Amino acid sequence: MIDSAGIWIDHRKAFVVTLSEDGEDTKLILSRVEKHPQRDTADDRQQRALTGELNHFYDAVICAIRGYANVFLFGPGEAKHELHKRVVQMKVGDFVMAAEAADKMTDREIIAKVRDHFGLGAVRAHD
C-alpha cells in the first residue's frame, strides 16, 4: 500500500494529492484569506485575524493528510513552511519529507509532480 501525499499550497488554497495502489485522489481546500496585508500596514488586530484564519486553514489541510507516512510540500511563498511549522507545533508527526519552491501549477502538473517525487512516473490511463 502506498501511503504518500503531496500538497501544493499557498495562502489561498491547498491542492492535496493522495496516492494509492489504484492511482490518486485529489482534494481542494480553500482558505478564507482574501489578501495578505503588508506587514507595515497591518495592525495587530488584522495580523491576529489573519494568523487565526491561516491556522484554521492549515488544520484542515493536516486533517486531509492525517495517516499518511510521507508528505511532500511545495508551492510559492511561505505557506509550505508555515504548514510544516504547524504540523510540528501540533505534534501530529514528523512525516513531511520535503518542502520545495514551486510556481503556480495546473492540477495535472501538481499530480505529475507528486507522482514523480515518489517515483511513480506518469499518470496511468483509466479504462
The domain that contains 49 carries what CATH number?
A: 3.30.420.60
pLDDT class for 125, splitting at 50, 70, 90? very low
Residue 127 lies in a domain: no
Instruction: Kindly report, residue by residue over 66-107, the tens digit of the pLDDT.
Output: 888 888 999 998 999 999 888 888 776 656 666 788 889 999
Residue 126 lies in a domain: no
Number of structural domains (the chain) is 1
Domain hosting residue 57, numbered range: 4-117
8 Å CB contact between 60 and 90 = no
Q: Is the pTM of this model over 0.75?
A: yes
In this structure, of 6-20, 44-58, 68-82, the range with the lowest mean pLDDT score is 44-58
